[in-house]
Structure 1
Amino acid sequence: MIRTDGEAPAGDGAAEAAPVRRVPRPRADALRNRERLVTAAREMFVEFGCAVPYDEIARRAGVGNATLYRNFPERPELVHEVVLSILARLTERAERAAAEEADTFAAVSRFVHAAADERVGALCPMLDGTFDKDHPDLVVESERLEEAVEGLVRRAQTAGRLRADIGVGDLMVGVSQLTRPLPGTGCEDFAPFVHRHLQLFLDGLEAPARSTLPGAAATLEDLRRDA
C-alpha cells in the first residue's frame, strides 16, 4: 500500500535501534574484596616475596580462596595489579608533595620518604623475567610517575634548592637501593634504618653541592637502557 500523507510505512527507512545491553557494574563488596586482595598481596610480597602461597594472601585479605582465584586466576595477573597499585600510589604521593610543600626541596624529601613507606626497594624483585613491564596499563602509569617526579626535581633545581649535577635517575636509584633490605635481613629488621639513611642521602642532594660528582647525571632513559 502506498501512503500519500508523507508518513513512512512501519519498518521503512532506518532499522529500528537494537536494545542497548547494559554491562552490570561490579558490586561495591566485590570492589572492596579486590582492593583488600591487592593490599594483602602487596604487604606479603614485601615480607615473603612473590612466591607466597595464594591461600595465605586470601587469609590476610579476609576472603576465601575462591574470591582470590575469581579475581586473579593466574599469579602474574596479581603481580601486575600490585605493581600498578604501587605506581599509582607513588604518583599520588609525588603530586601531593608538589602541591602542598612550598619549599621545593622539602617536596623532593617528602616524596623520597613516602616512597620508602611504600617499600619500593623490597618490591623491586617482583620485576622478574616473567613480568610484562611493557603492558600498556603499566606504561601509562609509569609515565605518569616519571612526569610527577621529573617535575619535583626540575622545580627544586630551578629554585636552586637541589644540586644541578644530578638527574631523576640518580634520585630513583638512591631510593630503590636504600629501601631494599640487605641480604640476610628481614624487612622489619631493616625498616628502622631506612629513613635515617635516606636523610643522609637527601643531605647530599641539597644545594649548594659540597663535592663534585664523577660521571654524568643519570636520566630515566639511562636506567631503561641498563635494565
Structure 2
Amino acid sequence: MSTATTPAPRKAPRPRADAVRNRERIVTAAREMFVEHGPDVPLDEVARRAGVGNATVYRNFPDREALVREVVCSVMDRTAEAAEAALTETGDAFTALEHFVHTAADERISALCPMISDTFDQHHPDLEASRERVEQLVEEVMGRAKAAGQLRSDVGVGDLLIVVSQLSRPPAGTDCGRGDRFVHRHLQLFLDGLRAPARSALPGTAVTIEELRAC
C-alpha cells in the first residue's frame, strides 16, 4: 500500500546577481538625478546613467511612482543603518549622535522625502515601515545621550529631524553643490546647542513624531 506524499512547496527563485546589481545601479542613479533635477527627470536618462537599457528600468519599476518610492525607502534605510551604527558605538553618546546627524544629512533625505506628495501613496507599507524604523532608532540614539546627561531634556525626535531636514537642503532640483560646504558647519552649530546643560529655556514644547507627521 503506497502512501501519497505532498510535494514540498517550491521556493521562489533567487534573483540573479546581475539582476540585483542592475536594480541597485538604477536606484543609485535615480537618487543622484532626483537630487540634481527633481523627480520629473526622464527615466531614459536614469537608465543611461545607470548603464542599463530602458526595458531593465521598467522591468524593475513599472512606473515612476514605484521608482521614487524605492529611492526614498533606500535613503531612509541607509539613515536607519547610520542610527544603528551610532547605537553600537561604545564611546561618548553625544559624539555618536553627532556622527548620525552628519551622516543623515549626507543622505539628502530632506531633498527626497518631499517627492512623496499628494499624488503618491504616502501610507504605502514600505514607506511606513522605513519611516517607523528611522524614527524608533533616532529616539534610541537621543535617549542614550539624554541618559548620559549630555543631551538637553527639552528636545524631541521631531526637533532633531526637522532641523536636519531644513539644514541639509537646498531641496531636489536646485544647485545643491554650492550649499554643501555650509551644511555640516551649520549642523555642528545646531548640535552644540543641543548639549546639556542648556543655556536657555526653549519656547513651546518638544516636537513629537506625531506632531511632525501632522505638519
Please state how far the C-alpha of 1:102 moved relative to its aligned partner. 1.2
List alignment gaps of at least 5 residues for structure 2. none
How many correspondences in the alignment? 215
Q: Trace 1:130-209 onto structure 2 (pairs within 5 A).
A: 130-181=119-170, 186-209=175-198
After TM superposition, the score normalised by the length of structure 1 is 0.89
Question: How many percent identity over aligned positions?
Answer: 61
Distance 1:45 1:203, change over 3 A: same
How many Å apart are 1:137 and its aligned residue? 1.9
Letter in 1 for 2:209: L
Structure 2 SS opposite 1:139: helix
CA separation in 2, counterparts of 1:206 and 1:133?
A: 34
Greater RCO, CA 8 A, separation 6+: 2
Whether 1:84 aligns to 2:65 is no
Structure 1 183/124 Cα, relative in aligned 2: closer, same or farther at 3 Å? closer
Aligned partner of 2:26 among 37, 49, 52: 37
* CA-CA distance at 1:48 after TM superposition: 0.6
> Structure 2 vs 1, CA of residues 77 and 16 (structure 1 numbering), >3 Å: closer, same or farther?
same
Shift in CA distance, 41/148, structure 1 to aligned 2, threshold 3 Å: same
TM-aligned CA deviation for residue 23 of structure 1: 2.7
CA spacing shift, 1:184–1:27, aligned 2, 3 Å: closer
Q: Tell me if structure 1 keeps the 8 A contact 2:167–2:183.
A: yes
Unaligned runs of 5+ in 1: 1-8
Q: Distance in 2 between matches of 1:186 and 1:101?
A: 38
**In the alignment, residue 170 of structure 1 is paired with which amino acid?**
D
Q: 1:113 aligns with which of 102, 112, 121?
A: 102
Deviation at 1:100, TM superposition (A): 1.9
Aligned residue number for residue 210 of structure 1: 199
Q: Which whole-Å CA distance do the structure 2 matches of 1:218 and 1:47 have between them?
A: 30
In structure 2, the CA distance between the partners of 1:131 and 1:72, relative to structure 1 (3 Å rule), is same
- For the residue of structure 2 that corresponds to 1:116, the secondary structure is helix
TM-fit CA distance, 1:20: 4.0
Q: 1:20 to 1:40 in 2, by over 3 A?
A: same
Runs of 4+ in 1 over 3 A off after TM superposition: 18-22, 182-185
Is the Cα contact below 8 Å between 2:35 and 2:172 reproduced in 1? Answer: no
Report how far residue 183 of structure 1 moved: 10
What are the within-5 Å matches in structure 2 for residues 15-54 of structure 1?
15-18=4-7, 20-54=9-43
